[in-house]
């Protein structure tokens, strides 16, 4: 299946100042697959070393030696003649061999002519742990679950994609119902590649849900295997609480929802572990929507979002009927799914994103984004009802800003607010990044 990160990998290959590349991402988002596909399509030869299964390779790095020596050993071990520029070396599950992570420094300094990429399911944990990180000696890239656009591509809906990419609003507006139907399918299937592939191949919704449940079980296994034992119960409590916290009108993550009397100091490490593992995203509050947003960040208040909307559906056992068909039974959670969808698409753009509320005020802005020299309040609506007392009140007090509203409605610019269809907003923002407006 096509992933847009391939284009980033090709640019990395073509960069004359290329460094060894670290590809980060949560377990089962497709890192190994995409690196192998990159090697297959862009190189004459590919050497794939997986440290979780290859004791001999771990031994090479643990014993040390020059970068040239390591290249020779890997070549002999893989029985592939590793040559500069036409061989891709993939070092997978590198968190299982910290010495290999440290060796990236020497590959950069001594053998820059070799193309080396590394990945690992819990690499973020290693990078924030005791592993020696080669600061300034590596390039970094991150792979997320498949986006809505990649979901459409997997389903072969190229004409729909083309209209989104070109921002052809006449076509997009006329095909609104079709896009929404695929959006509801995405809400259920999500972006985990194995689940998407099963759906594309027609294996049915039940198999998709079973795949999602297996992925969730693998994550819990990671908690117990890799996290400090004292933190495992807390990690599970935080993880289990996120769907319900998103479904409520909480203005920040509520520690008291975990257990009575819970305090931040008790759960900070558990939350950071989940963030480092790539399983949750942390969105901080800002006290004002002004340039630059980072100046107004409130470190005491934040929200947590899961990495994938399909996995959240599996966590709450949401039946396919209420995800795929609009009705009032799903009203409470539909807002949570919509907000989560919006953020999981936003996070792939690297746009600085926060949310805004002040004290006991009833005004809350779902997201605040910074694009170039402008900031935008962003409201997320689950359906077509555009009533928005909170946003309208805020904009009356801040006429210098222009708001963005994400909903199921067609694209329309009302001056003070621009309504963007949920399924099209990411491409709109990406285009604005390129224009820096």
Q: Cα–Cα distance between 272 and 285 in angstroms, integer? A: 17
Sheet of strand 353-357, all strands in order from the earlier edge strand to the far edge: 297-306, 280-286, 353-357, 364-371, 374-380, 403-407, 417-421, 412-413
- pLDDT tens series, the chain, 437 aa: 999 999 999 999 999 999 999 999 999 999 999 999 999 999 999 999 999 999 999 999 999 999 999 999 999 999 999 999 999 999 999 989 999 999 999 999 999 999 999 998 887 776 656 567 788 999 999 999 999 999 999 999 999 999 999 999 999 999 999 999 999 999 999 999 999 999 999 999 999 999 999 999 999 999 999 999 999 999 999 999 999 999 887 889 999 999 999 999 999 999 999 999 999 999 999 999 999 999 999 999 999 999 999 999 999 998 877 777 655 544 556 788 899 999 999 999 999 999 999 766 778 999 999 998 999 999 999 876 667 778 989 999 999 999 999 998 999 999 999 999 999 999 989 887 876 54
Residues 6+ apart with CB under 8 A from 121: 26, 27, 28, 31, 93, 95, 222
Does 3.40.50.300 match the CATH number of domain 5-142? yes
Q: Locate the domains of the chain by residue range.
A: 5-142, 148-435
DSSP states of 408-423 as a string? Answer: SSPPEE-SSEEEEETT
Residues 6+ apart with CB under 8 A from 409: 384, 386, 419, 421
């Amino acid at each position: 299946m096509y992933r847009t990160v391939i284009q980033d990998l090709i640019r990395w290959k073509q960069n004359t100042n290329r460094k060894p590349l670290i590809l980060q991402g949560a377990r089962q988002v497709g890192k190994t697959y995409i690196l192998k596909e990159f090697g297959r399509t862009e190189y004459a030869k590919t050497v794939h070393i997986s440290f979780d299964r290859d004791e001999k390779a771990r031994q090479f790095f643990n014993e040390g030696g020059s970068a040239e020596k390591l290249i020779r050993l890997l070549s002999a071990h893989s029985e592939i003649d590793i040559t500069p520029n036409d061989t891709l070396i993939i070092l997978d599950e590198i968190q299982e061999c910290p010495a290999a992570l440290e060796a990236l420094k020497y590959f950069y300094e001594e053998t820059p002519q070799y193309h080396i990429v590394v990945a690992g399911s819990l690499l973020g944990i290693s990078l924030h742990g005791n592993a020696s990180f080669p600061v300034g000696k590596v390039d970094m890239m991150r792979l997320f679950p498949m986006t809505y656009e990649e979901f459409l591509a997997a389903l072969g809906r190229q004409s729909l994609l083309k209209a989104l990419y070109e921002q052809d609003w006449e076509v997009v507006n006329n095909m609104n119902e079709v896009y929404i139907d695929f959006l509801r399918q995405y809400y259920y299937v999500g972006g985990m590649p194995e689940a998407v592939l099963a759906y594309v191949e027609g294996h049915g919704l039940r198999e998709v849900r079973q795949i999602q449940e297996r992925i969730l079980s693998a994550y819990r296994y990671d908690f117990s295997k890799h996290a400090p034992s004292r933190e495992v119960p807390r990690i599970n409590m935080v993880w289990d609480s996120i769907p319900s916290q998103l479904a409520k009108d909480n203005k920040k993550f509520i520690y008291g929802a975990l257990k009575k009397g819970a305090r931040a100091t008790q759960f900070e490490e558990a939350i950071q572990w989940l963030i480092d593992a790539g399983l949750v995203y942390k969105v901080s509050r800002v006290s004002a929507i002004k340039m630059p947003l980072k100046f107004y960040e409130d470190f005491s208040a934040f929200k947590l979002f899961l990495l994938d909307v399909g996995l959240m559906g599996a966590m709450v056992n949401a039946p396919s009927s209420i995800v795929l068909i609009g009705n009032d039974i799903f009203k409470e959670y539909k807002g949570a799914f919509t907000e989560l969808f919006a953020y999981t698409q936003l996070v792939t753009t690297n746009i600085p994103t926060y949310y805004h509320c002040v004290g006991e005020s009833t005004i809350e802005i779902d997201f605040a984004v910074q694009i170039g020299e402008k900031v935008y309040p962003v409201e997320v609506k689950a359906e077509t009802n555009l009533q928005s007392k909170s946003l309208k009140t805020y904009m009356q007090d801040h006429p210098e800003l222009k708001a963005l509203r994400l909903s199921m409605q067609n694209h329309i610019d009302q001056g003070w607010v621009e309504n963007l269809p949920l399924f099209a907003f990411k491409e709109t923002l990406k285009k604005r990044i390129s224009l820096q407006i």
